[in-house]
Structure formats: C-alpha cells, structure tokens
C-alpha cells in the first residue's frame, strides 16, 4: 500500500489543488516585488534590486517547500509502517479490521464492508516486513525536486519582461502584470474544473483574490 502511494508521487508530487496553491503563493511573492517599482520614475538599480529580490525569495521558498514535502513524505511512510504493524499485532481479525477502518479516509472506509476489510488485512499480512524506521527513497527526492522547481520557476514569466525590455520599465511592468492576471485566471479555471465549481467564476475569483492579497501585502509593508 505504501509503495503504491510512493509510486504515484513520482508522477504527481503535488495534488492539483496543492499545485494551484503553491503557484498562487509564488505569484503573490513576485507581484509584491514587481508592484513595488515606481512606474513614474523607475531606476535601473530599482529593477535590478527587484529581480534579485523576487528570484531570491522564491528560491528560498522553493527550498523550504521541498523540505516540508520531504518531512510530509517521511511522516506518511511512518504512518504506513505503523498501520501495517498495528494490523499484524491485532489479536483478532475484527480488531485489525477496526484499525484499518480508522486509518482509511472516512469516505473510503464507509464504502468498505467486513469482507473488503478482511481481504485488505490478508494482503497486508502477506507483505514483507517493513524497515524498522521510515526512510526516504528516490521517489521522495524526485518529488521534492519537482516541488522546488514548480515554486521557483513560477518567478520567471513575471520577471522576464524586465530582462528583455530594459529600455522601457513602465512597459515591462504592464506586461508583467498582464502575465500575472492571465496566470491567475488560468489557475482559477483549473481550480474550478478540479473542484466542480464554475471554471469562469473561479477564474474571476482567483484574479480578485490574487490582486487583493498583493495589495494587502504591499499595504502591510510586505
């Protein structure tokens, strides 16, 4: 059971809702830097400081997020090992079934009958002995790398205009903000599809939410 979960993390380190949340946070962090530039009298030094700040901020946050991902993966493996040992130590099949029902998500547990839980218990008992302590493998390290890249690379679409349009900072700022709005809209659309909400309405809400959070962050000195 734990191996199947681990294998799925290679293909998708983050769930869709988590990817959207991470991208939203990364965009907000970058926008707090780009929107701090004075469009009236921008200086080249201000742009350079903004670029370094935005890249550095998301670089550090990408590392933090990757570490948190590894910690969560280690805890997940530990819970899996603990569940397996608890099931094997159970004095009776009924006790093992109760443990499984408690550890499974409620929606799944409610759909399983005693026969299903018994089959699951038998399959768990047939698994090889787990390691004494949870360990991180290649799967988790690849997942952490994916999380880091996802958080860090979201910086570049918003900062690219300041790199390629250095002769007109006001134009670069407008293009950067336009890209941010488009990305927020797309994230909202995907979030609406994933959650079953109206995608267009979710897109508009995401844009308003992102702009509002950026404004609040700047107003509070972020």
Mind listing the pLDDT tens digit for each residue in 92-132? 888 988 998 888 888 888 888 888 888 888 888 888 888 88
Residue 112 lies in a domain: no
Element (H, E) at 195: helix 169-195
- Whole-angstrom Cα distance, residue 210 to residue 206? 6
CA torsion sign for 169, 171, 172, 176 is positive
Length reported for the chain: 222
Is the Cβ–Cβ distance between 57 and 176 less than 8 Å? Answer: no
Domain assignment present for residue 129? The answer is: no
pLDDT digits (tens, 9 = 90+) for 25-80: 778 778 777 776 654 455 666 777 778 888 888 888 889 988 988 998 899 889 88
Question: pTM for this structure?
Answer: 0.72
The reply to whether 192 falls in a domain is: yes
Higher local confidence (pLDDT), 153 or 212: 153
Please give the pLDDT value at position 4: 42
Instruction: Decide if 213 is inside a domain.
Output: yes
Structural domain includes residue 26: yes
Assigned domain for 123 exists: no
Is residue 85, in this structure, part of any structural domain at all? no
Quick: pLDDT tens for 191-206. Answer: 888 877 888 888 888 8
29 domain-assigned: yes
Split into its structural domains, the chain has a count of 1
pLDDT at 38: 54
Residues 176 and 33 sit within 8 Å (Cβ to Cβ): no
Q: Supply the range of the domain harboring residue 25.
A: 2-73+137-219
pLDDT of residue 186: 87
């Amino acid at each position: 059971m734990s191996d199947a979960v681990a294998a799925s993390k290679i293909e998708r380190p983050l769930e869709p809702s988590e990817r959207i949340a991470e991208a939203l946070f990364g965009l907000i962090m970058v926008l707090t830097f780009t929107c701090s530039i004075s469009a009236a009298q921008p200086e080249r030094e201000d742009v350079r400081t903004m670029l370094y700040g935005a890249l550095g901020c998301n670089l550090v946050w990408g590392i933090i997020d990757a570490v948190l991902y590894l910690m969560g993966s280690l805890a997940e493996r530990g819970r899996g090992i603990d569940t397996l040992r608890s099931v094997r130590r159970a004095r009776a099949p009924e006790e093992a079934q109760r443990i499984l029902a408690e550890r499974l998500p409620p929606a799944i547990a409610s759909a399983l009958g005693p026969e299903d839980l018994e089959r699951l218990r038998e399959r768990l008992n047939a698994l090889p002995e787990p390691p004494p302590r949870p360990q991180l493998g290649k799967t988790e390290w690849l997942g952490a790398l994916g999380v880091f890249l996802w958080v860090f690379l979201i910086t570049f679409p918003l900062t690219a205009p300041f790199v390629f349009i250095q002769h007109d900072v006001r134009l670069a700022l407008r293009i950067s903000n336009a890209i941010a709005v488009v990305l927020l809209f797309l994230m909202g659309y995907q979030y609406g599809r994933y959650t079953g909400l109206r995608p267009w309405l979710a897109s508009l809400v995401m844009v308003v939410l992102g702009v509002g959070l950026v404004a609040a962050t700047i107003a509070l000195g972020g």
